[in-house]
Structures are given as C-alpha cells and as structure tokens.
C-alpha cells in the first residue's frame, strides 16, 4: 500500500513540475524568436529603399539646377530632383495622396518654368529657392534634419509618391499650367491678379478649402507698437505721416479681395496694397484683421502664403477625407486635365 501511495505521489509531482519546465523553455524560445524578428526588421529598415522607376521624359530627363547660395549648377534626373522638392516643400508626414498631388504639381511647375519662363537663362533650368522657383534640398541634407527613426520611412514615402505619379502633369486646354502652390489658404484660395497683377490664369480661381483649421500654419499673430509700425513703413515711404490722436481712423482696412484678403490698408496719408503690407511687416498672409489697443497694434493672420493654387494643408485635409490626388488637383486648379507625358 505504501508503494502505491509513493507512486501516486511521484506522478503528482511530475504533473506539477513538467509544465513549469516546458513553460520556462517556451518563454526562452519566444524571447529568442522576438529578438531575431526585431533584428530582421531593423536590418530591413536599414537596407530596404524604394528605388525611383525609370521614365523617358525625352527633352526633360535632366534638370539643370542652380544652387542660389553657391552659384553652382547641378544636373539631376527630373524625378530625382522632384524628390528633393517634395521633401523641402511638404511635410513627409502628410498623407500619401497629398504627397502624390505635390509630386504632380511640382513636376508641372518645373516643366512650365523650363518651357515658358526659364528665369535663369540658358545656363540653368530652375533654382533651389522658394522665393524664385521652388525649394529643394538634397537627400543627405534632408536626412540630417529628420529623426533617424523615420528618415527611411519618409524618404520611401516621397519616392513612392513620385513613382506612382510617374510622367503625370497638369494641363489646361492642352498646355502645361503654371501650377502655383502654398502652405495654407485660410479657407479660400486667391487669384493671381490680386497678388502679382496682370490678367491671371483661368484655372486659378477662388475655391473654398475645408479642414485647414487644425494645422499650425492656419493662424498667427504679429504685434507691434504704433511707433514700430510707423518706422517700418517709413523705411519704404519716407513722407508717411500718421495722426496719433485719431489712430483708429489713421490705420484701417479700406478694401478686401474676392477671397476676403486685405487689398488696401490705410496708414496715415498712404494707401498701401495688402501684398506690400505683408512684405514690409513679415506677415504670413494678406488675410488679416487688425486690433488697436492703446499704443500697440496686433495683426491677426489667417493662412500662410500667397494663397494661389494648391493649398498643401488643404491637400492633406482632403486626403484624410478620402480624396485621391487627382481629385485634390482638380479641386484647386479649375477645368484642368491630368495627362501622361
């Protein structure tokens, strides 16, 4: 009987300890597998890169890019150049469809410049300054500014945007358009005649854009003392005079454009264009209100940029709502077609 009890006790002990032994072993195996998977993932991130696909642009395969700071001219493949434009002009965190829209817009803008404008003569096709053409940054310089954990993901996303819109340009009545773009429209885009004068373009009209309010570019403020304000304008207009005793009548908005931006601002004895006010005071947009309190004036600005063409935050907002890059482009450029070169 004692032997039977001993055997039973031994069997119970085995039943108790065997799961523990194998559980510990399984945990060790799982840990090793997870570590191996992490190494594989890390290695893939380091070595896997989306490559630019070849496309024959015939006369436009190579772009002569002028670097404004050094004066040097660099020759780049068109789509390689576009990757540098997109990474400089639009946050890579934006939706892929927004980046694709930017790729088509940047390609169109580049070819329009080469065909119609060529601002730097025959030596260069375009430059790397947003003040003259469109911004551009090299991959190496861009990676220095991005976080190490996202740089490969972001660059691959940009290359994908270029690859998936390969050869696409925007046309109006069969001709490549002047595809202007800006950061944030503040709810409505502007027409060129109110910014640069001239006759404008039929495809660049005032259109409404929703969803831009949540972006940091949507609103900003500039506060100056009345003295600082007058001094800034005196740098341009030496004969400007302002009656400080009646300041609310001396500084006021006289006229708005169709999109609600300031067309004319009265400053003492001068009526100054909203575009010039923006330049002199360093405002983000001509879409502003003014608030005068005692000895100071506050410019409450909505939007960022000249407001013409595609709004980049508007494009991202539309993409978040499910719009494709074609729908985004046709929203901001009226009556256009997207064609393959």
Determine, yes or no, domain membership for 332: yes
The pLDDT of residue 251: 96
Does the structure show a pLDDT above 60 at 18?
Answer: no
The pLDDT of residue 11: 45
Do residue 157 and residue 225 come from a single domain?
Answer: no
pLDDT digits (tens, 9 = 90+) for 223-238: 999 999 999 999 999 9
Do residue 65 and residue 173 come from a single domain?
Answer: yes
Query: What is d(CA 261, CA 13) in angstroms, rounded to the nearest whole number?
Result: 84
> Edge to edge, what strands does the sheet with 62-66 contain?
73-77, 62-66, 126-127
pLDDT digits (tens, 9 = 90+) for 133-168: 999 999 999 999 999 999 999 999 999 999 999 999
Is 67 within 8 Å of 131 (Cβ atoms)?
Answer: no
Instruction: Select the more confidently predicted residue: 165 or 9.
Output: 165
Determine, yes or no, domain membership for 48: no
The pLDDT of residue 300: 98
Determine, yes or no, domain membership for 319: no
Do residue 295 and residue 331 come from a single domain?
Answer: no
307-317 as b/e: b if 16+ CB within 10 A: bbbbbbbbbbb
Do residue 137 and residue 224 come from a single domain?
Answer: no
Confidence class of residue 121 from pLDDT cuts 50, 70 and 90? Answer: low
The pLDDT of residue 144: 95
What is the SS3 assignment for 156? Answer: helix
pLDDT digits (tens, 9 = 90+) for 30-89: 433 334 334 433 444 454 789 999 998 888 999 999 999 999 999 999 999 999 999 999
Do residue 126 and residue 232 come from a single domain?
Answer: no
Look at phi and psi of residue 242 and say left if phi exceeds 0, alpha if psi is from -120 to 50, else beta: beta
The residue segments making up the domain with residue 86 are 58-179+324-340
Do residue 160 and residue 229 come from a single domain?
Answer: no
Do residue 328 and residue 284 come from a single domain?
Answer: no
Determine, yes or no, domain membership for 74: yes
CA distances from 215 to 37, 212, 219 (A): 37, 6, 8
- pTM (2 d.p.): 0.83
Query: What is d(CA 282, CA 65) in angstroms, rounded to the nearest whole number?
Result: 28
Do residue 173 and residue 109 come from a single domain?
Answer: yes
The pLDDT of residue 49: 85
Do residue 75 and residue 158 come from a single domain?
Answer: yes
The pLDDT of residue 317: 98
What total of structural domains would you count in the chain?
A: 2
pLDDT digits (tens, 9 = 90+) for 166-215: 999 999 999 999 999 999 999 999 999 999 988 789 999 999 999 999 99
Do residue 157 and residue 62 come from a single domain?
Answer: yes
Determine, yes or no, domain membership for 9: no
């Amino acid at each position: 009987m004692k032997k039977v009890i001993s055997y039973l006790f031994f069997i119970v002990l085995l039943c108790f300890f065997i799961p523990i032994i194998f559980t510990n072993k399984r945990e060790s195996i799982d840990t090793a597998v997870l570590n191996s998977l992490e190494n594989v993932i890390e290695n893939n991130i380091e070595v896997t890169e989306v490559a630019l696909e070849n496309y024959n642009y015939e006369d436009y395969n190579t772009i002569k890019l002028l670097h404004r700071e050094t004066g040097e001219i660099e020759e780049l493949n068109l789509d390689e150049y576009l990757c540098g434009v997109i990474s400089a002009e639009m946050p890579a965190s934006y939706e892929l469809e927004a980046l694709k829209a930017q790729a088509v817009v940047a390609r169109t803008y580049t070819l329009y410049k080469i065909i119609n404008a060529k601002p730097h003569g025959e030596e260069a096709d375009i430059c790397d300054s947003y003040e003259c053409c469109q911004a551009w940054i090299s991959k190496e310089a861009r990676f220095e500014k991005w976080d190490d954990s996202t740089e490969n993901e972001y660059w691959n996303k940009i290359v994908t945007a270029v690859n998936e819109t390969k050869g696409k340009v925007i046309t109006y009545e069969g001709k490549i358009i002047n595809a202007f773009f800006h950061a944030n429209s503040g709810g409505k885009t502007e027409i060129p005649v109110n910014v640069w004068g001239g006759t404008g373009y039929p495809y660049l009209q005032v259109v409404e854009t929703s969803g831009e309010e949540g972006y940091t570019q949507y609103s900003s403020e500039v506060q100056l003392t009345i003295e600082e304000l007058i001094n800034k304008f005196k740098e341009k207009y030496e004969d400007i005079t302002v009656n400080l005793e009646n300041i609310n009548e001396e500084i006021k908005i006289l006229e708005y454009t169709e999109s609600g931006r300031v067309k004319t601002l009265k400053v003492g004895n001068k009526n100054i264009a909203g575009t010039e006010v923006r330049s002199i005071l360093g405002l983000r947009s001509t879409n502003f209100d003014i608030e005068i309190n005692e000895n100071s004036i506050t410019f409450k600005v909505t939007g960022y940029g000249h407001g013409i063409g595609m709004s980049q935050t508007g494009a991202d907002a539309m993409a978040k709502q499910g719009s494709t890059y074609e729908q985004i482009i046709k929203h901001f450029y009226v009556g256009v077609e997207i064609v393959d070169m």
